Amino acid sequence: MIAKKAKVGAGTIYRYFKGKEELINQLYTYWKCELYLKPLQSVDSSQALRSRFRSLWLAMADAAMNNPTAFIFIESHHHGAYLDSASMALIENVQDRLLEIFEEGIKNEIFRDTTPKLIAAVAYGSFSSMIDCFIGGFLEYNQENMSQVEEMCWQAVRR
């Protein structure tokens, strides 16, 4: 299918990739960086935590909505047993950066007194479901809806 879409012979793909798993890993790392790592790197760490949370949420949402197929791809391959060490290291890097934000919020008594992983699960679960609803057409994608869901998520994790 990829070769057909690229209008090349199927053998051409294997000049660049050893197999399907390598291709998936290359795509996975590329899109994980675009949808998650770049937004994380774009957030100004000197901002108040509330502003960082909102900025990160909106940056990730924009990235996902500008690349809905990539978002679905990342979500569907996130737990794949075929992910290689580079993909796994990227997952850990993104998770560690997110957990730092939640650890700071717990330490400064902004977030609920629980584990950073639990807060991350609630926040990312809300984010992922929201994007799924926008992509699927269940919710209209607009700034008002995006802001309301972000605010509800903030209220769910704060003290």
CATH number at residue 137: 1.10.357.10
The answer to the question of residue 137 being in a domain is yes
How confident is the model at residue 8, as a pLDDT?
Answer: 82
The answer to the question of residue 46 being in a domain is yes
Q: How many CA atoms lie within 13 A of 32 on its CB side?
A: 22
Q: Tokens in use for 142? A: 């607009």
Claim: this prediction has a pTM higher than 0.85: yes
The answer to the question of residue 138 being in a domain is yes
Amino acid at 146: M
As a whole number, mean pLDDT of residues 127-131 equals 95
Domain interval for residue 78: 19-157
As a whole number, mean pLDDT of residues 101-111 equals 96
How confident is the model at residue 13, as a pLDDT?
Answer: 73
Residue identified by tokens 């990730």 is 60
Model confidence pLDDT, tens digit, residues 14-64 = 777 777 888 889 999 999 999 999 999 999 999 999 999 999 999 999 999
Q: Tokens in use for 44? A: 């100004």
User: What's the domain count of the chain?
Assistant: 1
